[in-house]
Amino acid sequence: MLNIKNITIQYGKKKPVIEDFDLNINQGEIISIVGESGSGKTTLIRSIAGLLPGEGKVIKGNITFQDESLLNFSEDKWNEYRGTKLSMIFQDCGSMLNPIRKIGAQFVEYILTHEKMSKKEAYDKATQMLYKMRLSNINNIMNSYPFQLSGGMRQRVGIAMAMTFKPKLLIADEPTSALDVTTQAQIISQMIELRDKYNTSIIIVTHNLGVATYMADKIVVMKDGKIVEQGNKFKILHSPKSDYTKKLLDSVPVMEGKRYV
Ligand SMILES: Nc1ncnc2c1ncn2[C@@H]1O[C@H](COP(=O)(O)OP(=O)(O)OP(=O)(O)O)[C@@H](O)[C@H]1O
Ligand SMILES: [Mg+2]
CATH classification of the domain holding 19: 3.40.50.300
What DSSP state is assigned to residue 152? H
- Whole-prediction pTM value? 0.91
Residues 25 and 2 sit within 8 Å (Cβ to Cβ): yes
pLDDT tens sequence across 6-41: 999 999 999 999 999 999 999 999 999 999 889 999
pLDDT tens sequence across 47-62: 999 999 999 999 999 9
In a domain, 190, yes or no: yes
Which residue out of 7, 8, 17, 58 has the highest number of ligand 1 atoms within 8 Å of its CB and is therefore the one to mutate?
Answer: 17
In a domain, 132, yes or no: no
In a domain, 42, yes or no: yes
Our count of domains for the chain comes to: 1
pLDDT the model gives residue 195? 94
> Looking at ligand 1, which atom is closest to the CA of residue 36?
25
**Å from CA of 192 to ligand 2 middle:** 22
In a domain, 182, yes or no: yes
In a domain, 128, yes or no: no
In a domain, 141, yes or no: no
Which amino acid is located at 87 in the chain?
A: S
- 200 is in which domain, residue-wise? 2-92+169-259
CA distance 230 to 217: 11
